[in-house]
Amino acid sequence: MLPNLLKFAQGVFVLLVSFIVIVHSNDLVDLLKDSTALFFVSAIDNVFFFYASAGFFGQKVGRQAQATTGKVIADVKKWTFIVRPIVMIIIGSLMIIALFSVQHGQNAGNYFALKYPDCNVTNAFTAISKMTDGVCDGGELNTLGCDFDGGDCFNFNLLFPGCNVDDPERFLGNGLCDGGLYNTPECKYDNGDCYLFNSYLNEYPNCTVDFFRWIGDGRCDGDGYNTTECGFDGGDCLD
């Protein structure tokens, strides 16, 4: 009875720890790593039993272990065939209920609110998928309450102190002047993308066109660009 109870307790603990590992894993690599460690720990008893059977813990223990492997326990009681599926159904149902409960808590943002109580975001579910993904998403996530996007924006904030824009790694320095908050000293004028735009804006303050980068690009764009206010497309239309 005692070995069976211990084995049952071990199985319950393995299921419980497996559940915790699945819930806390950030990605598939972490899940495989933690699962491998769990299986190794759960197999330690088999390793000790093998060494016991080989006589490493004394001849007496070795003979007892070998005798145990040779015993055949007849399972002829009818009630066991009823109890086993009931126990399996109960354990399986509890795990499914627990997983759905965790999923509901994640979707509702309950766990997010517990971890980041001062992180005010529009959509907690979207924030969960973005935080700690290795990419600085900026905006409402790049705040002290949100732990600066779960730590993803630490390096960005060192390079661009005071620059809090949405998707900075996507737009800053992408070759296009995105304007607005990106075109500020804190954001280093869109990480350099707006230098030409700003120079033309200073040179042609009355020029109202959509794409300042077209001015002086070597091609006469005509229409609103080929005007006195725009310097005749930055000189492109003078030839």
C-alpha span between 122 and 141 (Å, rounded): 10
Kindly report, residue by residue over 79-102, the tens digit of the pLDDT. Answer: 777 788 888 899 889 888 988 887
- Confidence band for 188, pLDDT divided at 50, 70 and 90: very high
In this prediction, residues 214-225 reach a mean pLDDT of: 80
Q: In this predicted structure, which of 117-126, 159-168, 205-214, 227-236 has the lowest mean pLDDT? A: 205-214
**Residue 156: its pLDDT value, please?**
92
Strand partners, 138: 166
**DSSP designation for 138:** B
Q: Position of tokens 């009875």? A: 1
Q: Is the pLDDT of residue 199 over 90?
A: no
**Residue 157: its pLDDT value, please?**
92
End-to-end CA distance of the chain: 99
pTM of the model: 0.52
Kindly report, residue by residue over 119-175, the tens digit of the pLDDT. Answer: 888 887 788 888 888 899 988 999 999 999 989 999 999 999 999 899 998 889 888
Kindly report, residue by residue over 34-54, the tens digit of the pLDDT. Answer: 878 877 877 787 888 888 888
User: Percent of the chain scored above 90 by pLDDT?
Assistant: 11
C-alpha span between 193 and 178 (Å, rounded): 8
C-alpha span between 19 and 198 (Å, rounded): 56
Residues 127, 146 contacting (CB under 8 angstroms): yes
Between 239 and 223, name the one with better pLDDT: 223
Expressed in percent and rounded to 5, the helix, strand and coil fractions of the chain are 60, 0, 40
C-alpha span between 199 and 122 (Å, rounded): 37
C-alpha span between 137 and 9 (Å, rounded): 45
C-alpha span between 174 and 182 (Å, rounded): 11
CA atoms within 13 Å, Cβ hemisphere of 71: 9
Q: How many CB atoms lie within 10 A of CB 149?
A: 26
Between 194 and 24, name the one with better pLDDT: 194
**Residue 29: its pLDDT value, please?**
79
Q: Position of tokens 């149902």? A: 93
Q: Is the pLDDT of residue 18 over 90?
A: no
**Residue 76: its pLDDT value, please?**
67
Q: Domain residue spans in the chain? A: 2-114, 124-234
Backbone angles phi, psi at 237, to 5 degrees: -100, 10
Q: Is the pLDDT of residue 200 over 90?
A: no
Kindly report, residue by residue over 102-130, the tens digit of the pLDDT. Answer: 778 777 777 777 888 888 888 877 888 88
